[in-house]
Amino acid sequence: MNPAILKVAIVGSGPAGCYSAQFCRKKWPTAEITIFEQLPVPYGLVRYGIAADHQGAKAVIDQFDRLFQRERVGFMGNVAVGRDIPLSSLSEAFDVVIIATGLAADVIPEVVSGLPGYIVGAGAVLKAVNGHPDLHETLLDGTHIKPLGQRLALIGNGNVAIDVIRVLCKPIADFAGSDIDDTRLASLRGEGIASIEVLGRSPVSAAKFDYSMLHELMELPGIHLGVTGLEADAEACKAAVLIRSRLQQQSERPNPGDICVNFHFAAQILTATPEGAALELEIGHANSGRSTLCVDQVITAIGFNHAPSSLASSDLSALGNVFLAGWVNQQGKGAVAANRKDAKSVVDSIAGFLERDELVVNSPGVGSLSMLARLDVVDYAAWQEIERYEVSRAKPGRCRAKMTDVNEMLEIADRTSRTAHVA
């Protein structure tokens, strides 16, 4: 194999896609590597999934920027593979295709799956307040975001669930330095959230949230903590100790304006029955029978799945040079670091195929995709123009104001091409 002529296409510019590009560049220094992204802007999960008030976790973007600035990786934004370019055409144009599109759909438990008016996914909520251009229909009343309601139930006790609780409860002043979409957050909060009932099937000792995430939540002002299912034998569990400490420190009753956050460990919804505008939930507790909750909305935070239009949900068996990386390959498991590990494993596997001559290296590359000429492709320079614009219009206390309209993004991106043409 001559690595100088290897052509690699990566679909998706989130962490799995960017890490795949990194490892491809290390493995094949002279290869042609192109990342395709359906939005005009890169970085996927990092830009739109990591909570807006965790800017430190988004700093990995600086590392990914170097791919396009120094490592000769091409960026083609506003190009949807499967819609604008058939996957089969991409497979013919490139020697290797890596699909790293992540998982876009929230998993909805069967017990509430037939109640769309009362259910919304945690991923949809976090994308909304992160400024994603595509708002999920469950968040909308016509074209406007509707309030989640005053009484919420949240299914799940992992880090995504903790993110949702924190974002919905955190005082606005404490979002300083973030790029939270204030308008959307205010719409979701409506007239104010009174309570969040957090339902997790696991006992506290087996809860999936990180201790640091729980600790950050426990430090928030304006919440009044409640708990059921805290086992007597969990004394040595750090999370249980932290929760007990918070319970001891707070007042017996909520202060005016407090949001009551009630954790129910070893608990699950048995039935869900609409009662007018509300939803009545029958809760089964592992050690204490049953109880009833009446809520306005249920937020699910139990994982992610393929969207119906996902490339990875189609039959890839006929395309021998197409590989999966990241969440789409790992069923949505793991944080950003897990995507890096999987990307390395996938690239190492591809290298094995090439070394055994099980992949043919003679594809024409990105220049052969004639359909690109008909598209409004956003390259890396145009993305930088969008980013500069977002930073320039940030309000005091915010690091940027993300654009939420794709057409407006393309108008800003077009400035770069016009400037380059004049030059």
Q: Tell me what percent of the chain is helix, strand and coil, each rounded to the nearest 5.
A: 40, 20, 40
pLDDT score recorded for residue 145 = 97
pLDDT digit string (tens) for the chain, length 423 residues: 444 589 999 999 999 999 999 999 999 999 999 999 999 999 999 999 999 999 999 999 999 999 999 999 999 999 999 999 999 999 999 999 999 999 989 999 999 999 989 999 999 999 999 999 999 999 999 989 999 999 999 999 999 999 999 999 999 999 999 999 999 999 999 999 999 999 999 999 999 999 999 999 999 999 999 999 987 666 679 999 999 999 999 999 999 999 999 999 999 999 999 999 999 999 999 988 999 999 999 999 999 988 766 676 666 777 889 999 999 887 777 788 899 999 999 999 999 999 999 998 999 999 999 999 999 999 999 999 999 999 999 999 999 999 999 999 999 999 866 454 334
* Beta carbons within 8 Å of 263's beta carbon, 6+ residues apart: 157, 198, 200, 204, 225, 226, 227, 228, 229, 243
Residue found by looking up tokens 């995504």 in the block: 160
Q: Please give the model's pTM, rounded to 2 decimal places.
A: 0.93
Residues linked to residue 282 through DSSP beta bridges, in sequence order? 271, 292
What distance in Å separates the CA atoms of residue 278 and residue 194, rounded to the nearest whole number? 14
pLDDT score recorded for residue 232 = 64
For the chain, which domains are there?
A: 7-104+306-420 (3.40.50.720), 105-304 (3.50.50.60)
In sequence order, what DSSP letters do the residues of 162-213 get, joined into one string? HHHHHHHHS-GGGGTTB---HHHHHHHHTT---EEEEE-SS-GGG--S-HHH
| Spatial contact of 374 and 84, defined as CB atoms under 8 Å apart | no
pLDDT score recorded for residue 9 = 98
What distance in Å separates the CA atoms of residue 123 and residue 337, rounded to the nearest whole number? 19
